[in-house]
Amino acid sequence: MSRPLVIGPPPADAEALLGTAERAARAAGAMLLERFAGGADAIGQVYSKSTSTDLVSEADMAAERAIRAILAEERPDDAVMGEEGDDTPGTSGRRWIVDPLDGTINYLYGLSAWCVSVACEGLAGVVFDPLSGELFASPVTAGAPATCNGAPIAGRGVSELGQSLLGTGFGYDREIRAAQAPIVAGLLPEVRDVRRIGSAALDLAWCASGRLDAYYEFGVKPWDIAAGVLLCAASGLEVHELAGGPVLPSGILVAPPAIAGELVARVEPPDSAAPDVRSEPTSP
């Protein structure tokens, strides 16, 4: 069964943590934007990861190096988990979880839905969209909203599943996609419509800002969601960990309270037990 993800109030140094996150995200974003404008030659070599369709580029890796350099300078005692690099241990008890380029396939195809996600786990985080210049940030004080470029944001708060614009994503493995297909097919007649953006971090930021009503995805990694779940929780949305099944890995769901339980029941495999996606690595 799913369980709600409980996120505590921002720490006393949330503003400082967000400052570091923003500087790191903007440094990576500037590099990615320059390469994006330069096309394939600037993006550099592209490699396969988990499957032949799961790709990483030299731009991804360069962006992560830029993030890690700022974290090493400003937060040298903190641990770091990044999508493209080795985990770095720390002594402070805090861990940064970073996705230097969420939406790599979009980026490589010249599509605009890609971003940078930088979070101090469970405490503070930002999602930065270099093309639009939008920076989504978690609150700095308890009870405050998440923001986009400093302006408060909030989820739309629909009260009926049939009125919801739903975001989702799919894995790279063929068997996982085959298991995901009947779930979204069953939901499609029951919701306003479905969007597949191709960036989990943007899906979450857009839920937090009311551009989507709800979102779910199986197979997300900690770096996909570490900043986004903080944004959603601060924007009045429920955040649920989704249990997987025999084929499906664990996942995440965010939705307004009025429809969260119904949506969980429709997407989660029966007789499943939810692992903790916050600390256990599990699509772009």
Known binding-site residues for Mg(2+) equal 83, 99, 101-102, 224
**Pairing state between β 214-218 and 134-137:** unpaired
Q: What whole-number distance in Å separates Cα of residue 56 and Cα of residue 72? A: 23
Residue stretches of the annotated binding site: 83, 99, 101-102, 224
How many angstroms separate the first and last alpha carbons of the chain?
Answer: 25
Residues in the chain, overall count: 284
- Cβ neighbors of 241 (< 8 A, separation 6 or more) are 2, 3, 4, 5, 250, 251, 252, 274, 275, 276, 277, 278
**Rounded to whole angstroms, how far apart are CA atoms 152 and 247?**
39
**DSSP three-state, residue 157:** coil
